[in-house]
Structure 1
Amino acid sequence: MPVQVVGVDFTSRPSPRKPITLAVGELRGAAVQLQALHSFASDAAFEAWLATPGAWVGAFDFPFGLPRELVEQLGWPTQWHALIEHYSALSRETIRDTFAAFCAARPVGQKFAHRACDAPAGSSPSMKWVNPPVAYMLHAGVPLLLRAGVHLPGLHEGDRNRVALEGYPGLLAREVIGTRSYKSDEKAKQTPERLIARKDLVEALEQGRTRLGVRLRLSHAQRDLLVADPMADQLDAVLCLLQAAWGATRANWGKPLDADPLEGWILTA
């Protein structure tokens, strides 16, 4: 029975130049056929897609939770849904100032609080507001999922036909090409070396040379598109797509037994 899977490369400020990117595929056995790539230049357009009836398992490239240490020190709610309601009501300026003050009071090398899943995934702390601004991505993205009524395993009960999981494309990319950079939003850094890294990454995904045990199937045009995009938004969405496919084949979506119900967890970490 085929399973519809999706991968989402998210941005907290979508625009025509830097949209939210969605990869849609079909999982059959151990292979995922990429079916379509979509772009959404606004939160409203993406929210409309989320709310569309259907059945899918998706991996979304933004954090679903904040570090418990941070939440407890700030005196914020320690129940996930109440925390998200509190957090989403804050302005980005308030978030920045609150987190900056938290960091300023801590010793060098320990400025940020981390979730338990950050170290295994190699991900940025979800309280980080610059480079990348994942704190704003959480602020923008999670409320969209809640309003759409999707199911977030271990965090929020919703429509179990539409399952949203936290993905992180960098985790899968590093497994394949190590620390080589494969993308940049800056024109000057869109080098031949990064193009070669994207080629190598796509080739490995097609051959199934990852620990996920899932192969990517592409048309020639799709392969050219993924390799040619210097910002790699589409490739990141496809990396999330493969992580979603892995989760779709695992008991309880691959959620670790010790996952923190406040912090959330990262797929495949």
Structure 2
Amino acid sequence: MVRSTILIVVARHEHKPHKRIAARSATILLWGSLGDSYEFENIMKIYGIDFTSAPSKNKVIACVEARLEADVLSIQKFYRFIDFPSFMDFLTRSPVWIAGVDFPLGQPRKLIENLQWGKTWAEYVERVGQMSKQEFVETLNQYRQDRPVGDREHLRQTDKFAGAISPMKVYGVPVGKMFFEGAPRMLAAGFSILPCHPTNDPRSVIEIYPALISKNIIGKLSYKSDDKRKQTSEMQFLRQEIINQVRSPICKSKYGFVVEIDQQVTCECVSDASGDTLDAVLAAIQAASASQQPNYGIPENCDHLEGWICA
């Protein structure tokens, strides 16, 4: 059986013929060439994407490209997007893929029901997509205002299981804003969103959480910072240690495949103090792992309104 699949973390599209894509230098900072879609027997094409709610030249959407063939995950190239149009254009040019996105695809059921946003994932995500970012943030702020301490930012079932923060959070690590920017775009593009909004589209999106890999290797130590004043040589050492570990036999025993990383990608993972490139690599590994599990590791009894982190 021929399989040509992309897993995008990010997570985070129309059918178009396979063709070479010219990079737009004004909007895409590209390392490696975006070539023809791979279509070989038993080969799965994978993208690992580290998402941001406000892409720019200083804070990009980072993407790595990989191929999973038999028991080898080969991470070969990396790309950087400085705006949403170029990112979405990149996704729409590939006709078949699975995307693992590093942002919450859903919100807590308690929030959705209390705000009466809708009965289905598509309904409330479409409603959010009609808001401005300011309206979305103000809606969550007002919701939290009169609630008791400890009940202001809810967790989804999957957040509790994975140890993730509330997808309602719009300050600090603003995953709520990432949801606002990411989920409506994924819905509008027509993707199959698992498990929230499955369709017959051959492009499927799953939510992942790269921090689960890094925590297994270095615990709670910090290996990245967007603040240049807080970037240290120790963090660089930890990034190298994470790379060393995922390329070791430990990874194969855990995930069932060997990880091979191109030297240029490796150097970028270590030198990129923001951690974006490394997180994209971890996203690709986690997405590849999910792709090998029945139903991507999503339990049958999960809440489809909230979504699920595939770990």
2-structure distance, mates of 1:104, 1:115: 20
The structure richer in helix per residue is 1
1-structure distance, mates of 2:229, 2:161: 32
2-structure distance, mates of 1:205, 1:35: 15
Is there any run of 5+ residues in structure 1 with no aligned partner, and where? none
Which one of the candidate residues 79, 91, 111 is aligned to 2:120? Answer: 79
Which one of the candidate residues 82, 98, 101 is aligned to 1:60? Answer: 101
Matching residue of 1:181: 222
Q: Is residue 149–residue 159 contact of structure 1 (8 Å, CA) maintained in 2?
A: no
Distance apart, 1:116 and its partner CA: 0.4
1-structure distance, mates of 2:226, 2:258: 28
Matching residue of 1:206: 247
Q: Which moved more, 1:134-143 or 1:213-222?
A: 213-222
Counterpart check, 1:258 vs 2:284? no
Alignment of 1:112-131 (within 5 A): 112-131=153-172
Q: Is residue 192–residue 200 contact of structure 2 (8 Å, CA) maintained in 1?
A: yes
**TM-score, structure 2 as length reference:** 0.82
Matching residue of 2:287: 244
2-structure distance, mates of 1:234, 1:220: 13
Q: Is residue 50–residue 148 contact of structure 1 (8 Å, CA) maintained in 2?
A: no
Alignment root-mean-square deviation, CA: 1.5
2-structure distance, mates of 1:101, 1:155: 26
Counterpart check, 1:30 vs 2:89? no
Number of residue equivalences = 268
Q: Is residue 247–residue 260 contact of structure 2 (8 Å, CA) maintained in 1?
A: yes
Which one of the candidate residues 129, 137, 142 is aligned to 1:101? Answer: 142
Question: CA separation of 1:161/1:154 partners in 2, compared to 1, >3 Å: closer, same or farther?
Answer: same
Distance apart, 1:222 and its partner CA: 2.1
1-structure distance, mates of 2:177, 2:53: 6
SS at match of 1:49: helix
2-structure distance, mates of 1:11, 1:76: 24
**TM-score, structure 1 as length reference:** 0.94
Q: Is residue 51–residue 149 contact of structure 1 (8 Å, CA) maintained in 2?
A: no
1-structure distance, mates of 2:70, 2:215: 25
Q: Which moved more, 1:208-217 or 1:69-78?
A: 208-217
